Structure 1
Amino acid sequence: MLAREPGSGRDEAIRGLSVGVGETTRNGDRVARRTERALAVHRLLNSQSPNRPVPLSDKGRIALPDIQPPRADLVAALAMRRSGYAYEDRDLEFRALSAWLRFAVGVQRFVPAYGRPEHPLGMAPTAGGLPSLGVYVLVRRAEEVPSGLYRYEAVSHELVELSTVDPTGALELVYAQPEFATRPAVSLALTARLDVAFGQYPLRHYRTLHVDSGVAVQNLYLVGTALGLSCCAVAEFDDAGLAALLGTPDTEIPTMLFAAGHAEQR
């Protein structure tokens, strides 16, 4: 298992980039300009005005169990991979949730990079190995995880509790198809960190951030298929509404929702 101790997650990885990127005022101004230009395009595409979500603080942590990878043939998983809309009406098993996150969007290995002896690289790779991909878990029903909103910390393999409010009602307003809020056991929200990306790359990297999310989506499908989950990536949602629900800063934009639960047995 590659997990590290609590507190060694995304925030430390981002701080570790300071050696490679630099923390000068000039660089900070350049990142801010790039971010604002990308946000202007993002808002225009979504016909939305600037939003200021209320940030959510960490309320606690749930350690996910060490788990063996699912036994599956890659070609078989690819052949069986499809969007599923039929879910069993039961809790998502704790070990299945742990395995799904660990092997789809967890840490693959640690390497010397960005001035750090152990910089984490993900199972879902990102451009430059940057910690620019965010993963949030919105739980309707899952074993040992109360309903609520969580941020997945890949390095320590933990769920960071952000809210204990059942997200179903809010998701019904966020999903263009509200049935995705009430049928799956959980929804995953993927986000892109513009401030992290533009500290290293030019403005055109806005496009690459969405490619990074697409790589994570394929991982979620394949690992979910191997675990017997019914999965569906959903791109049609209210961006501002989801950002408000997640409590992300305006420099972190939602890129995809992903619904999952145990596949209905027929």
Structure 2
Amino acid sequence: MGDRQTTEQALAVHRLLNSQSPVLRAALQGGRRLPLPDVHPPQADLVATLALRRSAYRYADRDLELTALSAWLRFSVGVQRFVPAYGVNDYPLSMAPSAGGLDILRAYLVVRRAEQIPPGVYRYEAVSHELVELSTGDPFDALQEVYVQPEFAQRAAVSLALTARLDVAFAKYPLRHYRTLHVDSGVAVQNLYLVGTALGLACCAVAGFDDAALASLLGVPNTEVPTMLFAAGHAAADPAHNGGSPSPTQ
């Protein structure tokens, strides 16, 4: 799938921008599947949610509740509807729309503290609304190597990573679409902020991360590149602590 030459050109651009050399890595194979519970959407006024939206730098010292996690994923990056497209009758379209409706973005969850979800790395499967276990164990040490600001590794209950599938993108679009991949990722980031805010979560989009280290932690193939990290957890008890210093992602 995809235009191999265009994909390699985009990867070369990506590595140049990140001052990194190609890294050969083995893709992680999916293990057990953890179904997420059905949940109702958060009841919140859109304008009020936009006014409350913040980048948070401190988080409550407790597990992220399973219902909150499920709702956050479902209504941020889950399936919105199914349509006839690309040769199938029930093609899934995401809550976070992408150019051409292509299934380009992937969401991964790096869990440190979550209710009923053991620490480890998971891929979110939007159609079935479940997590696929990729690796187990506390990812703290690896996350410290990923974040430019390693304090996020300790503070956030979970870190959600967005990736883009270059082979899927360039099966339809030319090299210029490398730019649009990041627009698609930005749409998903705003969804994560707004749904997280409506659920009362503390959230922060983090652009400062080591691409190669994150790709290795997630075990993604070489044609899949990380585009954003997103730290989340329950909000600290004192709202004043969630402001912090302004950042480019705020």
Task: Give the structure-2-normalised TM-score.
Answer: 0.94
Total equivalences in the alignment: 238
Pick aligned residue for 2:22 from 50, 53, 58 = 50
2:247 is aligned to none
Q: Secondary structure at the match of 2:221?
A: coil
Q: Does 1:259 align with 2:231?
A: yes
The within-5 A match list for 1:227-238 is: 227-238=199-210
Runs of 5+ consecutive residues of structure 1 not aligned to the other structure: 1-22
Tell me the alpha carbon deviations over residues 187-238 of structure 1, each in whole angstroms, 9 at most, x when there is no partner: 0000000000000111100000000000000000000000000000000100
The runs of at least 4 aligned residues of structure 1 exceeding 6 Å deviation read none
Partners of 2:25 and 2:53 in 1: CA distance? 35
* 1:160 aligned counterpart, secondary structure: strand
Aligned to 2:118: 146
> Map of 1:116-265 to 2, 5 A cutoff?
116-265=88-237
Counterpart Cα distance in 2 of 1:134 and 1:82? 24
- After TM superposition, the score normalised by the length of structure 1 is 0.88
SS at match of 1:241: helix
Q: What percentage of aligned pairs have identical amino acids?
A: 73
How many Å separate the matches in 1 of 2:113 and 2:121?
11
Partner in structure 1 of residue 244 of structure 2: none
Q: 1:165 Cα shift?
A: 2.0
Residue 5 of structure 2 corresponds to: 33
Letter paired with 1:74 = L
Deviations 1:77-129 (A, max 9, x none): 00000101120000000000000000000000000000100000000001111
In structure 2, stretches of 5+ residues that fail to align are 239-250
Q: Which amino acid aligns with 1:124?
A: A
1:79 and 2:60 matched:
no
Equivalence for 1:9:
none
Hey, what's the Cα distance between the residues in 1 that align with 2:194 and 2:20?
33
**Aligned letter for 2:98?**
T
